[in-house]
Chains A and B, each alone.
Chain A
């Protein structure tokens, strides 16, 4: 079975500062990995995904993530935080075979300070 662990349930950064949200995964086979963002009272929106192509993945709104197999990590970064980035971020891993179920981490609430 696959799982993800998000380190830090709350992260605060100043506007313009680097954003780093941590995600470690566990999977017995090469995984597919995702970052989703959830704004208040909205559903989940895909930020970016790793599907075994390039290890550095670029997503929407200036976010990117790097797949590091040796560290079993898929951390999310953005060079310069914007107030509109305040939201909850979820890392997720996809299972194998025909089921292809997404398993989510517990989420990281990002606060951007003026």
Chain B
């Protein structure tokens, strides 16, 4: 069936380094690709999204890249800070299918 594969499931990086999380989707009709951040005990919140007519989008330290041919999109966080520690989720197919999440740990 249709799915979204998200990797890695856990990512530990040194504070100040970069982090990259990748999602691969199967539904060719998907045209909206959001990333949500969920801090411990809190609700998921949208941090960045991209539409299929764009290859890359940046917002300060966060960027998302999309490769529609290969059906994958990635979240890039540069100069990581302690407050980036959270679980990150990607979604596709109109946000009906979600990745399993990536726990990002920022080591001081």
The answer to whether A and B interact is: no
